[in-house]
A and B are shown apart, each in its own frame.
Chain A
Amino acid sequence: MSGDRSDGGTDVVPDGGTVTEGTAGGSGGSALAGLRDRDDFVVVAMAAALVVFPFLLIDVLGAIGEVIGISIGGYSGLPSLVLIYGIIVIGFNLLLGYTGLLSFGHAAFFGSAAYSAALFSQVVPSPILMVIVGTIVATLLAWPIGFVSIRRSGVYFAVLTLTFGQALYFYALGPGAWLTNGDNGFSGIEAHGLFVGAIPLDAQLIPVFDSYTVMYAFAAVVMLIAVWVANRIINSPYGLIFEALGENEERVEFVGLNVFRYKLMAFVISAVFAGVGGAMFVIHEQYIHPTTGLYWIQSGDFVIMTVLGGTGSLVGPVFGALVFEYVANVISGVTLPVVGSIGSLWRFVLGAVFVFIVWVFPRGIYGAFSDLGSRLLGGGSEESAAADGGEHE
């Protein structure tokens, strides 16, 4: 599969407003020299964005909603949910956006982590331990599935990951019901106790704003770690090989590198992110069912979020997760003057937007914005400027 989506080998790293350029083939030396600064910068910018995010999503949008008479503000659980999916798609993008492998089976890692975290919570209801246990299970599962799937490329890779995911789904639904509770799913999963202490996860951090919960702080910290790790990987020589694989696998092979090993590592790393997200999802929703956890549409949702947001940039996919969850949870409840209730139309709208994005902006919403930004700022041949590693402000 020759995905030539990351044109020119440049990725742009977003950081809540300003734009800095990531490293790529062209600027290898200076990139390595400035790595530490950039690391700090990305994490600090992300932290700043995370501090204002619930306020913007709930309070500001809520206030605007009151003025225009349509309730478009988020509810208090939404920011955490966006972050959880954001963590997953940052990892998913390492596979799809950088390595160029399209997996339709990541629900397997999400769901297995969710289920193992849910089961573990009945022994030790500690959120942090639940995340660790869930992630370990997802990682252990990703190894054999990746080992088999990576051998094939293109559509066969997509179908193989899908078949393993579906086999797991049907197992959880039928024969594995003794473990997974089958079609009834688990509900009322509670996480408290060790590490986060006896403080309930939905307790408010700041008295005035009910959007800042302990759960949100927990998700934000994990998100920061995820961004830091992903940024570290992308800007390392290892990550450059992932990107090279996405551009031209043969060339990487000719250089003498073990393509199989790098692809397997990309697959496992992306599964680790999905595992973290799956365990966090159970802690947040206190509920898991084969359809939400393991069904292939869940994998499809990861694909949609990643592509909507934009492949080939570090946190571009997070925008996709935001748009997806916002449309699914807020817009779906909106009643418009002419159209009436959005209701179940939301998936239709999402599908249409998705097709439009794939068609017109292969690099997603974030890619489209950064193109627009560089066009406005640079004026002229920003294409070649981008190919040289972006322009410095």
Chain B
Amino acid sequence: MPLQLDIASILLNGLQQGAIYALLGIGLTIILGTMEFLNLAHGALYLVGAYTGLIVFQETALTNGLLYSSGITTIGFEGGFLAALIVVPIVGFGVGLLMERFVAEPFYDRPETDQLLVTFGLALIVEETIKNVIGGNTFQSIAPQTIFGVNVSQPVNLPVVGLFPSWRLFIIVIAFVVIAATWLAIERTDFGLVVQAGTHDSEMVRILGIPINRSYSLVFALGAALAAFAGLIGASIQTLSPQIGTDQALLPAFLTIVVGGAGSVRGAIAGGLVLGLIISAMTQTYSQWAQIVLYLFVALMLVFRPEGLFGSGEVGE
């Protein structure tokens, strides 16, 4: 295969992986930036999204599951992944609200080591709950055959790139739609203004009389919904097991915001894409070294550009 084709597929795969990292990173970074709360349970939210997606996908599939056995799917509508696309962010949002209220809030004024410790414990609990309730075994990815009536099971022939899995193409599109929507919500709405102001100086926002506590809940829930959504996307392209919460979500999310700059949404998107491209390029060339290069790259970033690509260098210290 000629070199240019390799580069094109590296770029596309990098975009797709980078989109997942960006979704995770945005959630982590707005929570860290606004509330100065360090959430080691972010990977657990990814797991919640992935497993909720799995259950919804199975139960609303055409041929078996809850909907099928109750006779609803006779209308010929493939619920599967579409239903998961709607249900998963809602579940993530709800879990985020609960987490903010019962786990995060009591720890806002505690040392950040305590925040790390309690969310680390929470992550353990979620992971173990999934293991004991759903099972610790591996599940196949839940990519659908068709979505919106379009067949996505076959690769498409793209110019320059050549054959590329159409499902992955779909993922890139939908992930960037969500990222763009989040971006607009934070850049163009009043809610986003409060979040941005809170990132800079939450005390000042409170003094101005803005009910920042309500914003806190919303920010936390939004971050959780994004993480859950990332989990759903991840579940559609990778096998699923309870361990992936840390390896494929929590650690990449942290790496993403370190590269992008803590507290910056723009940074999370840029950082996610940079890391996605690195992973994609390394996987297609020296796959054994992919993870090592990723981690060392981040370590070097921390040493030589500690504030990240777009960060202020103050958040999280």
Across the interface, do B111 and A351 meet the contact criterion of CB distance under 8 Å? no
Whole-angstrom distance between the Cβ of A316 and the nearest chain B Cβ: 15
**Could you tell me the distance between the alpha carbons of A56 and B125 in the complex, rounded to whole angstroms?**
31
Stretch at the interface among A31-39, A76-84, A159-167: A159-167
* B112/A1 in contact, CB under 8 A: yes
Give the contacting residue for B128; candidates A3, A102, A348; CB below 8 A. Answer: A348
Whether a CB of chain B sits under 8 angstroms from the CB of A215 is no
Complex Cα–Cα for A158 and B117 (A) = 11
Q: Is A5 in the interface zone, CB < 8 Å from B?
A: yes
B128 touching A296 by the CB < 8 A rule?
Answer: no
CB-nearest residue of chain B to A347:
B128
The answer to whether A159 touches B258 (Cβ under 8 A) is yes
Beta-carbon contact of A156 and B111 below 8 Å: no
Chain B interface, DSSP helix/strand/loop, else mixed: helix
CA distance A5 to B292 in the complex (A): 35
| Residues of B contacting A125 in the complex (Cβ-Cβ under 8 angstroms) | none
Which of A42-50, A169-177, A371-379 participates in binding chain B? A169-177
Chain A nearest CB, measured from B277 CB (Å): 18
B191 at the interface (CB under 8 A from A): no
The number of residue pairs between A and B whose CB atoms lie closer than 8 Å in the complex comes to 123
Query: In the assembled complex, which residues on chain A have CB atoms less than 8 Å from the CB atom of B302?
Result: 148, 152, 156, 159-160, 163
Q: Bits for B266-305, please: 1 = Cβ < 8 Å to A, else 0.
A: 0000000000000000000000110110011011001100
Expressed in whole angstroms, the Cα–Cα distance for A175 and B262 within the complex equals 32
- Least CB distance from A155 to B in Å reads 5
Q: Are A344 and B131 in contact (CB under 8 A)?
A: yes
Give the shortest distance, in Å, between B131 (CB) and chain A (any CB): 6
Q: Does A100 contact B (CB under 8 A)?
A: yes
Q: How far is the CA of A358 from the CA of B116 in the complex (A)?
A: 10
State the CA gap A6–B110 with chains docked (Å): 13
Cross-chain contact A148 with B288 (CB below 8 angstroms): no
B111 vs chain A, min Cβ distance (A): 5
Q: How far is the CB of A99 from chain B (nearest CB, A)?
A: 11
CA distance A166 to B132 in the complex (A): 27
A25 within 8 A of B: no
User: Nearest A residue to B111 by beta-carbon distance?
Assistant: A3
Beta-carbon contact of B38 and A354 below 8 Å: no
Q: Is A61's CB within 8 Å of the partner chain B?
A: no
Question: CB distance B111 to A4 under 8 Å?
Answer: yes
Cα A345 to Cα B132 with chains together (Å): 7
Report B-chain residues with C-beta under 8 Å of the C-beta of A155: 32, 38, 112, 116, 262, 316-317
B interface residue numbers (CB < 8 A to A): 32, 38, 106, 110-114, 116-118, 120-122, 124-125, 128-129, 131-132, 136, 246, 251, 254-255, 258, 262, 288-289, 291-292, 295-296, 298-299, 302-303, 306, 316-317
Residues of A within 8 A of B (CB): 1-5, 96, 100, 102, 148, 151-156, 158-160, 162-164, 166-167, 170-171, 174-175, 296-297, 300, 303-304, 307, 344-345, 347-348, 350-352, 354-355, 358-359, 362
